[in-house]
Amino acid sequence: MSKYKIAWLPGDGIGVEVLEAAKIVLDALALDADYIHGDIGWEFWCKEGDAFPQRTIDLLKNVDAAMFGAITSKPGKAAEAELVPGLKGKSLVYRSPIVRMRQLFDLYICLRPCIAYPGNPLNFKEGINLVVFRENTEDLYSGVEFNTVPKELSDTLARLSKPFAAFKDLPEDQYAVSCKINTRKGSERIVRSAFEFARRFKRKKVTIVHKANVVRATDGLFLETAKEVAKGYPEIAMDDANIDAMTMWLLKNPFNYDVLVAPNLYGDIISDLCAQMVGGLGFGCSGNIGDKLAVFEPTHGSAPKYAGQYKVNPIATILAAKMMLDWLGETEKAGKLERAVAHVIKEGQVRTYDMRGTSKTLEMAEAIAEKLEVGVVIGTQ
Ligand code: NAI
Ligand code: MG
């Protein structure tokens, strides 16, 4: 029996291609693992009315970790129209399997390291090394949303809100409500994870991202909880910034920042910005981490326009595999893998189209696999 059981969820589009690339590298590292395929994505929505079938949920209950590629998703009504005849007419609402997976398995940390590997032609500036901790289960992603606002809710909102509130005199179908729900527990554990990370890896500062001056209740709670947690880590500097200002400051001087922690939506936004500063979607990797399970993925989607061409950059997914190795405690293999990625980037011989090269997805993976024993030492470990 192998040491690890890994759920392998390619999804669709380029998800299939980038996971194939990651497997080349994991095999070259001789990770002692069984990889068990799981169905997820568009195809299963069309065939079964469920993009995240129960059998895949059951699989995830029995593995050490999972690698996920990407899936195509389309908004509710459009999705329904494409259902196969057997399912047509059933009123099924498309729900994002990834958001569901995060909530079902309480994968409360979304960890997104953004490192400018030296020599990457897409680096905004050399030397950027940011780590984003995004809360992954609540906030505006709580799933409490109303396209047509129920009468009891509209009455309550009208009664409790300010006289000048824009929606007040509108009929219920003329506005929509998405609830932003943040809990103390959820805020506490994501901020603590960020500080624990900073302590373990000797990072200097944690920045709390919020909009507490306007969104007073929920972001106020987040900020207040964060300040409490910070008291337990006196050796680590702490500051905070509004999400809007944060995007400007990050571009102006990314070197002022180190570890960033944010509620779900702001974390999503800020991590895309950070990923872009170190090469864009081809480099953005992500870990959805809970106490019992962790699911690793590139942050990009299924890129339908490139699907089947094997030309996209697999580095985001290969770095996600590196994160998985760290999570499994395979730090030596993780180090080898990251050094090999850094080597190939620095050498500049093999580059995919986004890096202004002509190499294909699997060529990049093979080049990285070949450098596992000789990769350059970099200052990120
Ligand atoms: P996308 O991330 O799939 O692609 C946008 C563009 O980014 C691509 O056209 C390509 O130019 C570039 N790109 C993406 N990955 C790349 C890579 N590895 N190497 C080089 N360039 C890359 O976003 P888009 O087009 O908005 O969404 C396509 C589908 O993916 C939609 O159905 C969307 O809902 C879904 N999606 C799924 C996600 C997931 O599975 N986690 C996340 C984001 C979107
Ligand atoms: Mg995103």
Structure tokens at 286: 């992500």
- Which residue of 16, 73, 82, 300 sits with most ligand 1 atoms within 8 Å of its CB, as the best mutation to test the pocket? 300
Up-side HSE of residue 358: CA atoms within 13 Å toward CB? 0
Nearest to 236 by CA among 329, 135, 131: 131
Report yes or no: 261 and 233 within 8 Å, Cβ to Cβ: no
Tell whether the model's pLDDT for residue 355 goes beyond 60: yes
> Would you state the pLDDT for residue 33?
97
pTM of the model: 0.93
Checking if the pLDDT of 85 tops 50, the result is yes
Q: What's phi and psi for 87, nearest 5 deg?
A: -105, -10
| Whether the CB of 162 sits within 6 Å of ligand 1 | no
pLDDT at 311: 97
Give yes or no for residue 359 CB within 6 A of ligand 1: no
* pLDDT tens-digit series, residues 230-278: 999 999 999 999 999 999 999 999 999 999 999 999 999 999 999 999 9
Q: Which atom of ligand 1 is nearest to the CA of 71?
A: 40
Q: Which residues contact 200 (CB under 8 A, 6 or more apart)?
A: none
Q: Which ligand is nearest to the CA of 132?
A: 2
| Span 267-289, pLDDT tens digits | 999 999 999 999 999 999 999 99
The reported pLDDT for the residue numbered 82 is 56
Mean pLDDT, range 295-319, rounded to an integer: 97
Per-residue burial over 274-298, b = 16 or more CB atoms within 10 Å of its CB, e = otherwise: bbbbbbbbbbbbbbbbbeebbbbbb
Atom of ligand 1 nearest to the CA of 72: 32
Mean pLDDT value of segment 93-118: 91
Q: How far is 74 from 255, CA to CA, in rounded Å?
A: 37
Structure tokens at 222: 């987040």
Q: Is 46 exposed, middle or buried (0-12, 13-18, 19+ CB in 10 A)?
A: middle
Token pair 């998405």: residue:
178
Which residue has better confidence, 317 or 164? 317
Say what the pLDDT of residue 188 is.
98
Domains (range + CATH), the chain: 1-116+278-381 (3.40.718.10), 145-178 (no CATH)
CA-closest candidate to residue 133, choices 151, 114, 119, 146:
114
Nearest CA to ligand 1 atom 27: 301
User: In this predicted structure, what is the pLDDT of residue 164?
Assistant: 79
The tens digit of pLDDT for each residue in 21-66 reads 999 999 999 999 999 999 999 889 888 888 999 999 999 999 999 9
Given this model, what pLDDT does residue 381 score? 42
Distance 266 CA to ligand 2 centre (A): 10
| Listed residues: CB within 5 A of ion ligand 2 | 268
What does the pLDDT average to over 116-125?
96
Cα separation, 361 vs 20, whole angstroms: 9
- Locate tokens 């000048």: which residue? 164
Lowest mean pLDDT among 43-57, 126-140, 284-298, 340-354: 43-57
Closest CA relative to residue 273, chosen from 133, 132, 135:
132
- Asked if pLDDT for residue 78 goes beyond 70, the answer is no
Contact 191, 231 (CB under 8 A): no
Which ligand has its closest atom nearest to the C-alpha of 272? Answer: 2
